[in-house]
Amino acid sequence: MILAGKAHPQDREGQELIRLWNNFAKRPELRTRLIFLRDYNMRQAEWLTQGVDVWINTPRRPWEASGTSGMKILANGGLNLSELDGWWQEAYAPDVGWALGDGKEHGDDPGVDAVEADALYRLLEEEIVPEFYDRDEDGIPSRWVRRIRESMARLAPQFSANRTVREYTEKFYLPAARDYAARIETIGDVSRGIARWKQDVSTFWPLVRFGEISVEETKECLSFSVAVYLGELSSDMVRVELYADGEAGRPSHVEAMQRQQGGSAPAGYHRYAARISPVRPALEFTPRVVPYHPLVRGPLELPNIIWQR
């Protein structure tokens, strides 16, 4: 086992942990089995990354910043064993690695820490280590290699700087450039219209509220219907959406709800509806109202949002 790492100069707890690691590595019975590398740096990180079989990451959720350390393992043929937090909540699947936790936040509960520690040891002892040493007649761990190939093929293209830069360019930089060109196209008329829209939304937003909501479930679909009071705002100034948070490896789900003509909405209310495939329980979905303008990038420019409670 090779241990390496650094603590911030003001991180006394981290420094104490490293001191304990160093002393632990000096025990005579561990001299041939455990090494602590001092003065951890980028060069050491490169060497270690190239030789890693399993990358273990055990932060308390939600303290994983993003997970770039686990991402760089992908291209080096390593596998991840990590908390369902940061990137791994999105990337994890049983055939590409292993996961800890339930994808929920539990604060500093020591009971949860104990449960996850037991899960970590169980995974290592009962699944990961046996699979690594399960070799064929040529000494090749076939199941392990299949898992590596699946991890590299599926995750490496998705969690890479190339994909990140491409998506930023396609989804944000180019649309922002087009929106800017549209705003200045008519010598300020568009910009003045956006300013009036923002002022109206800010003025009348406190009046927006939800009415009753109904849900019908069948084997084929989930049907949601909700009444929304917009007050002085017109229906084309907002968007009503059905939202489900991402968890346990599943992405978040956003579905635009359609305004219904006529119907049984109370006076002053608008009726919105959506039908979706029952891939997730109805209780995981929540309607919300957000401002809408075709040339405004929300929530960056106007972060207002109202949730149905």
94 vs 25: CA distance, rounded Å: 33
Please report the domains of the chain, with CATH numbers, ordered by start residue.
41-159 (3.40.50.2000), 164-307 (2.60.40)
Question: Which one, of 225, 280, 274, 273, lies nearest residue 252 by Cα?
Answer: 280
pTM over 0.75: no
What local confidence, expressed as pLDDT, does residue 55 receive? 92
**83 and 64 in contact (C-beta within 8 Å)?**
yes
**67 and 88 in contact (C-beta within 8 Å)?**
yes
Count the alpha carbons within 13 Å of 236 in the hemisphere toward its beta carbon: 3
Tokens of 12: 């006394």
Prior bond to 299 cis, omega within 30? yes
Instruction: Give CA separation, 213 vs 119, 218, 221, 309, in Å.
Output: 40, 17, 17, 10
Tokens of 26: 């000096």
Tokens of 201: 């939304």
163 vs 273: CA distance, rounded Å: 35
Bridge partners of 98?
A: 81
Question: CA 254, 256, 261 angle in degrees (round to 5)?
Answer: 160
What local confidence, expressed as pLDDT, does residue 208 receive? 93
269 vs 231: CA distance, rounded Å: 8
What local confidence, expressed as pLDDT, does residue 251 receive? 76
200 vs 192: CA distance, rounded Å: 12
What local confidence, expressed as pLDDT, does residue 225 receive? 92
Question: Which one, of 92, 74, 81, 68, lies nearest residue 246 by Cα?
Answer: 92
**218 and 236 in contact (C-beta within 8 Å)?**
no
Tokens of 267: 């006076």
Tens of pLDDT, residue by residue, the chain (309 residues): 888 778 888 999 989 988 898 888 889 998 888 888 888 888 888 888 898 899 999 988 888 878 888 899 999 999 999 999 989 988 999 999 999 998 888 888 889 999 999 999 999 999 999 999 999 999 999 999 999 999 999 999 999 889 989 999 999 899 889 888 877 776 677 778 888 999 999 999 999 999 999 999 888 889 999 999 998 999 999 999 999 887 655 678 899 999 988 666 677 789 999 999 888 888 889 999 999 998 888 777 888 999 988
302 vs 205: CA distance, rounded Å: 11
Tokens of 250: 């599943």
> The sheet that has 54-57: what strands, in order across it?
54-57, 79-83, 97-100
